[in-house]
Amino acid sequence: MSSKSPNADHPSARFEPHRGEFRVTWTLWLTYGAFYFCRTNISVALPGIEEELGYSKTTMSEIAKDCNMSAGNIYRFFASKLDIAEAIGRKFNSELYETYAGICRKPNTAADRLRQFFEFSMERTYEALEEKDKLVELAETLADERPLFMNEQLAQERVYLVQILENGIEAGEFRPLDRKEEVAEMIQASMMKFRFPQMFSHLTLPKLKRELAGVMDLVLAGLSVGATVPERHID
């Protein structure tokens, strides 16, 4: 199931499912605990679910049963379990994009917005993975088997990062940048450890926050007016 990448004017990357798709995705949302930002207690929202299932242990037949649908009907909306996992990822990302867009619109400095962007991303993901550890397996599966989906997510993030960079340059906070898209990509690379914290380390959130603050200090120093950066030649 394909979806066009969102743009800055439509940050939520709208996932508009067919009614049947919505039922399936919603059920998985609860079963996997995939969307930790669903603030309703799962045991109240769906009393029949007594335990959370991981991606690898959940079959399409079980998903169909939870949805009160036949397995054949599920396949009308999703060709595979992996397609459902991607739909879950897109639903998760849509709320991230909405918050990113809100951060970009804030009246504070570009440097503050850049910090808030990555602080929010890390804290949101960290809390999700702590609350629902089965999300780690889901994230790893998407990273391994749907790299284009992950690349699309990174590309959308760069839309917001470039916007912050441009604002900072216009305000005189950041030095002029010839290749803002490339700079945004390098910033993302420096933050990769904080993207899915539990997949790369077992550090506590306070420790991760201290490390993130330090990395942001270095990034902002490199963006500051008067900073000198050596020329790079990439083949």
How confident is the model over 196-223, as a mean pLDDT? 88
Q: Is the model more confident about 204 or about 14?
A: 204
For residue 85 the two structure tokens come to 């996992």
Instruction: Identify which has the larger pLDDT, 229 or 159.
Output: 159
Dihedral pair phi/psi, residue 224, rounded to 5°: -65, 155
Reply yes or no on whether the pLDDT at 11 is more than 70: no
Does position 176 have pLDDT exceeding 90, yes or no?
A: yes
| DSSP state letter for 224 | B
Q: Tell me if residue 117 falls in helix, strand or coil.
A: helix
pLDDT at 232: 65
Residues 71-95 have pLDDT tens digits of 777 777 778 778 877 887 888 888 8
pLDDT: which is higher, 131 or 33 = 131
How much is the pLDDT for 146? 84
Given a cut of 50, whether residue 34 has pLDDT beyond it is no
Give the angle subtended at the CA of 124 by the CAs of 119 and 128, to the nearest 5°: 150
* pLDDT at position 136 over 80: no
Given a contact cutoff of 8 angstroms between Cβ atoms, the answer to whether 45 and 125 are in contact is: no
Phi-psi region at 200: left, alpha or beta (left = phi > 0; alpha = psi -120 to 50): alpha
Q: How far is CA 83 from the centre of its chain?
A: 17
Torsion of CA 203, 208, 12, 168, to 10 degrees: -160
- Which CATH number is 19-223 given? 1.10.357.10
